Amino acid sequence: MNFSPSKLFKIVIAIKLCYLLLISCEPTNAQESQAAQKPHSETSNNPLIDMDIERKVDSVLALMQLNEKIGQLVQYSGKWDATGPSSSNGDQHKLNKLKNGEVGSMLNVSSVASIRETQKIVMEHSRLKIPLIFAYDVIHGYKTIFPIPLGESASWDLDIIEQSAAIAAKESAASGLNWTFAPMLDVSRDARWGRVMEGAGEDTYLATEIGVARINGFQGNDLSDPYTIAACAKHFAGYGFAEAGRDYNTMSIGDHELHNSILPPFMAAAEAGVATFMNSFNDIDGIPATGHKVLQRDLLKEKWGWNGFVVSDWGSIGEMIAHGYAKDKKHAAEIALNAGSDMDMESYAYEAALESLIKEKKVSIKHLDDAVRRVLRIKFQLGLFDDPYKYCNEEREQNEVYTPEHLAIARDVAKKSIVLLKNENKLLPLSKNLKSIAVIGPLADDKNTPLGNWRGKGEYNTAVSLLEGVKQAVDENTKVYFEKGVALTIPTVKPGENQFLHPLKFNNEDRSGIEEAVEVAKKSDVVILAIGEDAYQTGEGRSQVDIGFSGLQLELLDAIKKVNNNIVIVLMNGRPLDLSYPSEVVPAILECWHLGSESGNAIADVVFGDYNPSGKLPMSFPHNVGQEPLYYNQKNTGRPYSPKHVTYSGYTDAPKAALYPFGFGLSYTEFTYSDLTLDKTEMPIDGEITVSVTLSNSGDREGVEVAQLYIRDLVGSLVRPIRELKGFKKLSLKPGESKKVTFKINAETLKFYTANKKWEVEPGEFNVWIGGSSLADLKGSFSVVN
């Protein structure tokens, strides 16, 4: 029987399609699958590859036409109604692309109904019916809102951080989503940068540990579990080092600083098997991260052996034109794909240019296929090929989102994130049966600000306010007065509208409420003053040159201080603030961040002593914004700071050190450290030293302390930081109880990216400290010998 070439091709395609359907429906034998796994490459740190999935990926890839391959690398924002008529030419364009199987992912489509209908377009109209992956910015909770990531990082509690991410994943998955753009792993040392609220602060080690915990929470042990979602390590790389703390700005650091300070959290994320990476907006030494081949293709994919896919940040491929690095979108698409940026988020560059770039051999089929293979791999891991609608369960959406159980956990996370900065004369905790309490301030009765920026599907005005928390906590005979005093902002959008893209306007004139606030302060035993920042004062695009108190807040403080000295400041903020003046004039300060749905209850738990605060600062708080960027692990200069000399590295008008340093946080009890001991003072490069200390609770309350281990490499092939966090342990002690705290120091602890441009331990002398902050003074020494 004779067949024409075209008919024969169709027969081959049909056979392959049947094979694809067959293997997609095969049940997976866990033991057989595990036995078939092998590392992707010799340099891989990644979890083992499932070869069964790899065969399926290759089978799908073999069936795909060029336009379908390119389509898998296209991500659209879906703020449109897939069930109704098109509202614009742009919507019609997206709809046509979906029907043609030329879209790989959608973001900002949320709810089971919308996601089901959007997925249905692809499954009913496209040729190969490759399912979409749906993404959303689930940054610190989906509908149950947890503390902003910087606040949550202040808990130094990896278990609850993982738990909060797991709940966010569960609620997201119940609502049809399967991918989040979190965690942000950017190390940042500059409080002017508004996006510090989204990360873990200034320290590389802490950011690494917290980042991995959040990835584990989102992804669980198995991406095909319908209660997990794919995570995204962002922003790769250097975004948090933006010059002058100005968002999207360039960053200027050397190669060694990049490897030692910025890249370790991302390396750990790759090793932990994070599903996706997102590149960053900034350039690195003149090369935009989106087009940085050395970072994305050579380091991440080749040297680290990571097998997920890289998504651009919003429009960042097209933004290489504004950088002056690409002449047009076609050129930008060429640079980005060749550099290893796999998926184009909202630049429309890949869909417009990749086909011609392939034909012109400016982009290779090899690179295109590698990008598509990576996207397909994650879709198989999520189980979307088995069931494109597996996340579309209306019953789960109704019963597993914003539950009492989730809110209880949110309250637990929130109270553990609070940091006690000052407690003069033990003003805190307050008694619940005081005669009267004044709750004052622009944020005191605010039910929206505690939700923070990036609040997912958190609904406007649904947080428990501080006032509500106080009223629920105190004795029925305690009189609770409330006055706002001053407004923080002047509304620029209607209540409930998204403030994200609108600048804030601060109240600098209306003082009409101060007099009433003073009157209630006069007749109260104590004042709880809620001041700080609006939810949208921090976050993306919210950089500030002034990190003090906006508007009339300090005027309100001064007025109250004249009539009542018993003031507890409750700070609600998303970045370190300049607290130099409040710290001088008030006896008690609680750093409460933007704590999420259960904010007011969690603050009341701490204020009235139901929970003894245990938080520690993940970023240093300055005496003055002029100290920024400020961080504890600085390097010594040739003229280390001395208060006795002018010609040394410091300031003539302000201290060099932080007002409240990294790792700092008080308790309602007292902790003491003693008897630092090393089991040896000399260690071979491949050896290990055990260092221990006795931690004692010398106060009269049970409390939780975070014991922190710091080291210094005294002489290196590169100048080394004066201290580096290398470990921490969180311990609970009863009054009078002592515990021995032990840390292991080995090559993994001491290695760094040396002048040889590799990770290694250098022989030499080291100092070690253990204590309750980066100012720990209990010190030991040891040497490493070759």
pLDDT, residue 79, reads 65
Distance CA 568, CA 564 (A): 11
Asked about 713 being catalytic, the answer comes back as no
Please give the single-letter amino acid code of residue 407.
Answer: L
- The residue type of 283 is D
Q: What is the DSSP string of 650-685?
A: S-SSS-SS-SB-TT--B-SS-EEEEEEEES-SEEET
Amino acid at 544: Q
pLDDT along the chain (786 residues), means of 10: 40 44 38 30 50 97 98 89 57 94 96 96 98 98 98 98 98 98 98 98 98 98 97 98 96 95 98 98 97 98 98 98 98 98 98 98 98 98 97 97 98 98 98 98 98 96 98 98 97 81 92 98 98 97 97 98 98 98 98 98 98 98 98 93 85 94 98 98 97 98 98 97 98 98 98 97 98 98 96
**Count of helix runs (H) and strand runs (E) in the chain:** 24, 28
Q: Which residues have C-beta within 8 Å of that of residue 564, sequence separation ≥ 6?
A: 438, 521, 522, 524, 526, 527
Contact 149, 140 (CB under 8 A): yes
H, E, C per residue of 78-136: CCCCCCCCCCCHHHHHHHHHHHCCCCCEEECCCCHHHHHHHHHHHHHHCCCCCCCEEEE
DSSP 445-462: T-SSGGG-SS-TTPPTT-
Contacts of 659 (CB under 8 A, 6+ apart): 579, 580, 583, 621, 622, 623
So what's the pLDDT on residue 29? 32
Tokens of 730: 């969180």
Q: Which of 711, 705, 708, 714 is nearest to 724 (CA)?
A: 711
Q: Which structural domains are found in the chain, ordered by start? A: 62-395 (3.20.20.300), 420-627 (3.40.50.1700), 671-785 (2.60.40.10)
Task: Report the candidate in 138, 351, 156, 343 with the shortest Cα–Cα distance to residue 231.
Answer: 138
| Separation CA 158–CA 163 (nearest Å) | 8
d(CA 112, CA 145): 20
Q: How far apart are CA 531 and CA 312, in angstroms?
A: 37
Q: How many CA atoms does the CB half-sphere of 374 hold within 13 Å?
A: 27
Distance CA 152, CA 416 (A): 8
* pTM across the whole model: 0.93
Q: What is the DSSP letter of 625?
A: G
Compute how many other C-beta atoms are within 10 angstroms of the C-beta atom of residue 35. 10
Of 513, 592, 503, nearest in space to 552 by CA? 513
Nearest to 779 by CA among 675, 686, 627: 675
3-state secondary structure of 300: helix
Q: Is the separation of the CB atoms in 336 and 290 below 8 Å?
A: yes
Q: Assess contact for 554 and 508: CB atoms under 8 A.
A: no
Strand partners of residue 731: 705
Contact indicator for 160, 210 with CB cutoff of 8 Å: no
SS3 524: coil
Structure tokens at 66: 């060029």
pLDDT at site 698: 97
SS3 category, 24: helix
433 three-class SS: coil
The secondary structure of residue 28, as a DSSP letter, is: P
The alpha carbon of 679 is separated from its chain's Cα centroid by a whole number of angstroms, namely 37
Tell me how far apart the alpha carbons of residues 182 and 474 are, in angstroms, rounded to a whole number.
38
CB count in 10 Å sphere of residue 169? 27
Report CA Rg, the chain. 28
The tokens describing 428, both together, are 């805190």
Coil, helix or strand at residue 370: helix
- 300 CB-contact burial (10 Å; exposed 0-12 / middle 13-18 / buried 19+): buried
In three-state secondary structure terms, 584 is: helix
How many CA atoms does the CB half-sphere of 87 hold within 13 Å?
7
Token couple for 144:
């149950």
- Beta-ladder partners of 531: 571
**741: which DSSP letter?**
E
Helix (H) or strand (E) holding 399: helix 394-399
3-state secondary structure 188-239: CCCCCCHHHHHCCCCCHHHHHHHHHHHHHHHHCCCCCCCCCCECEEEEECCH
Residues with Cβ within 8 Å of 717's Cβ and at least 6 positions away in sequence, in order, are: 754, 755, 756, 762
Of 313, 342, 446, 534, the catalytic one is 313
Q: How far apart are CA 79 and CA 626, in angstroms?
A: 41
Pairing mode, strands 738-746 and 688-697:
antiparallel
Half-sphere exposure (CA, 13 Å, Cβ side) for 236? 34
The terminus-to-terminus CA distance of the chain in angstroms comes to: 76
**Do the bridges between strand 419-423 and strand 588-591 make them parallel or antiparallel, or are there none, so unpaired?**
antiparallel
Pick left, alpha or beta for residue 168 (phi over 0 → left; psi -120 to 50 → alpha; otherwise beta): alpha
In whole angstroms, give the CA distance from residue 379 to residue 62: 16
